[in-house]
Chains A and B, each alone.
Chain A
Amino acid sequence: MITLGLILLAYLFSMAMLFTYKAITEKDLIKAIIFSASQSVAYAIAYAVLLTPDIMLAYIAIGIGVYSIILLYVVTKTERYESEHV
């Protein structure tokens, strides 16, 4: 039986897939970090749907906060745009 929770989960995980795809193909690294954080948002809501608010709390702090800020910090040390010829 398909319940509301399962539909929500299917939607959230496909959104996460889409965001991951965008984060990989994006050439602007700042935008890629934002896509990666959005993927974390989708996963955090998915954890709330799966009734694990504990993991959701840690996921928000690490996936959206710490991880994004560390990557932004790393990008400031290199170039913002990924070049075609490496």
Chain B
Amino acid sequence: MKPVKILFIPLMGLIVALIILMLSYGTLGYSPTEYIRGLGEFLLKQCYNVFEKEWWAGSPEVITATLWDYRGLDTVYETTVFYLAVIGCISVFRLLQPRLAEIAKEKEEYALTVIVRVATKIVLVVIILISINIALHGHITPGGGFQAGSAFAVAPLLAIAAFSRYFVEKMGLKMDLSHALRSLGLIIIALVALTPLFYFGYLLQNQAKPWSPFPGFPVEVGFLELSGSLFYFDIGEYLNVAMGFLAIFLLISLPEHVFKKDMEVVKSES
């Protein structure tokens, strides 16, 4: 056991140094090699081929373009599976009155120290802003809807841990909002996916193709770079994932006695 412990301290120091090195290296413009590898060449040809626009997806971010343009149906199914998983979670906790949770206010004496609460308040704002940035910038820089949604998910969890479930609901992040925005995200994805069909294009079409009459979604609107349909898909996915996680966390943090009381009502009625 001891040699492991002796090894551990310098290795821990090294990993902290590596994190700083990698982060500064990555943000200051890291380019791995001077030549383009085979996979990179293929992806660039399919996604950001300025010279031959029949392969063009309009986005310099290859992963988002691959997810929503080249393999669009996969991602739609993935989003649907996530939506259904959240629906399953909600139906396991089948609450008769979703507002019942508001009655169960936690007492103030259980709150954590001032240091934790102030730090959490600052961090919450930063997390939410960064997640919005990842979502709205997902078609230009690394990121996208799912990444942004999972980054957002840390915010309600932190608030529940540092303050209480009641605090999150007082911020306005309620179950009703979660249901509404989650469905709105799915509706956005469905509408954007179906739009090309009205122009006799194919499902989930992004840019104009020689074999399809659909003119394609606008790549640039003024100074904004939208990358066709990818921007709207990212917003829909962000709403779906972020609000799905929020619903799950609101449900699992429900005090047990509140949940059981609601279940008893179901039992006596049946």
Contact = CB atoms under 8 A, between A and B. Distances in A.
B154 A69 contact: yes
B150 interface: yes
Given A15-B11, A54-B147, A45 B158 contact: no
Contacts of B64: 54
B173 interface: no
Contacts of A66: 150, 153-154, 157, 245
A10 interface: no
Given A18-B11, A41-B15, A65-B157, A57 B134 contact: yes
Interface stretch (B80-88, B138-146, B217-225): B138-146
17 contacts: A5-B32, A8-B18, A12-B18, A15-B11, A38-B15, A42-B15, A45-B22, A56-B142, A58-B146, A58-B150, A61-B153, A62-B153, A65-B150, A65-B154, A66-B150, A66-B153, A69-B157
B142 A53 contact: yes
Interface residues of A, number: 27
A70 interface: yes
Given A53-B26, A70-B157, A41 B146 contact: no
A49 interface: yes
A6 interface: no
Contacts of A70: 157
